[in-house]
Amino acid sequence: MKLESFEDVDGVEVWYRCWAADAEPRGAVVIAHGASEHSGRYGRFAEALNMAGLTVCAIDHRGHGVTAQSTGAGMPGPRGMEGVLDDLAQMVDIAAAEVNAPVILFGHSMGSLFVQALVERGGKRFAGYVLSGCMGPLAEGMGELVDALEAAADAGMGDEPLDVLGPFNEAFEPARTPYDWLSRDESEVDASIADPLCGDDMALTYRYAAGMMNLIRDSMSAEGVARTPSRTPVLLITGSMDPVSNMGAQVRVLEEGLRAAGAEVSSIYYQDARHEVLNETNRDGVTADVIEWIDSVIGSP
């Protein structure tokens, strides 16, 4: 694994990890991680993809991981979500140049939003994409929350941390930890809590949360999803007990929109799995499903 960086046009130094396949790679996977975590949490998944002949590049988004040294923890940087999406687009270009082979995008949670938004804006620079733990479109009444976040940020609270993750644990109370919603595997939950680059230690600010929610309001809306290029292969992987997507309900709405847009949609709803399906008790099966889908898109080794 190599830790490398590039500088974006606004001077932000963006860091990423790259796991290179041992043999000549038949493709690359670009990973966009979720809120209040970082690229280093995807090493096990990356190594499995390497074994399947795929090189992996995983970005640390602005406000996260090593990139937070440039922007500040939980802060979006000078250009907000536009900067975040530009970073991801550059990561795709770097991966494509690295392997000279098809590129698959993989977005988890917040990262799935960034991937969907980039797909809608970026044309066909990739062979297909995977959305894991996706929030889907805003549920009814959520628009008022977005307006409230924007108002708070504009009123001077933009750089203050916001607890956007805490409410997700309510469905699992009484709970062992505040993060039981992540996985049924207690060791994975504990590892996340112990990681200084995860959770409360890397909380999103009001400005970041407002920008992210506005991006959801646009890119996950019916109008936004309709911008998805026709015939684009998409895989949706979701836990049936994932509170981020209202236990999968919002992903089903997204799935309907993607099918209506003409995307080639595959979907798997894992019974009883929670938010982080790559860190769930059935993670080996999830990883195998993702690799099988990639094979169907770019060809088997």
143-185 pLDDT, tens digit each: 787 888 889 888 989 999 988 888 999 999 999 999 999 999 9
CA separation for the pair 58, 30 (Å, rounded): 6
- CA angle, 143 then 130 then 164, to 5°: 35
- Of 244, 39, 7, 211, nearest in space to 117 by CA: 211
Of the chain, the percentage scoring pLDDT greater than 70 comes to 99
Domain boundaries, given as residue ranges, for the chain: 2-298
User: Residues 227-245: pLDDT tens digits?
Assistant: 999 999 999 999 999 999 9
What is the CATH code for 2-298? 3.40.50.1820
CA separation for the pair 296, 262 (Å, rounded): 18
Residue 36: pLDDT above 90?
Answer: yes
Tell me the mean pLDDT in the region 106-128.
92
CA separation for the pair 35, 191 (Å, rounded): 16
Per-residue confidence (pLDDT) for residue 122, from 0 to 100: 77
Per-residue confidence (pLDDT) for residue 146, from 0 to 100: 81
Tell me which DSSP letter residue 279 carries: G
Per-residue confidence (pLDDT) for residue 123, from 0 to 100: 62
Instruction: State the chain's mean pLDDT as an integer.
Output: 95
Say whether pTM exceeds 0.95. yes
User: Residues 196-221: pLDDT tens digits?
Assistant: 999 988 999 999 999 999 999 999 99
User: Measured on CA atoms in the order 232, 16, 60, 42, is the torsion positive or negative?
Assistant: positive
DSSP string, 154-186: IIIITTSB---SGGGGGGG-S-SSTTGGG-S-H
- 180: Cβ contacts below 8 Å, ≥ 6 apart: 169, 172, 189, 274
Tell me the mean pLDDT in the region 63-82.
96
Q: What are the Cα distances from residue 288, in Å, to 113, 178, 181, 294?
A: 23, 29, 23, 10
User: Residues 231-286: pLDDT tens digits?
Assistant: 999 999 999 999 999 999 999 999 999 999 999 999 999 999 999 999 999 999 99
In this structure, what token pair is assigned to residue 251? Answer: 């992903």
User: 82-86, 136-140, 291-295: lowest mean pLDDT where?
Assistant: 136-140
Measured N-to-C along each axis, helices 206-219 and 142-152 cross at an angle, to the nearest 10 degrees, of: 140
Pairing relation of β-strands 2-7 and 27-32? unpaired
More confident residue, 23 or 269: 269
Of the chain, the percentage scoring pLDDT greater than 90 comes to 87
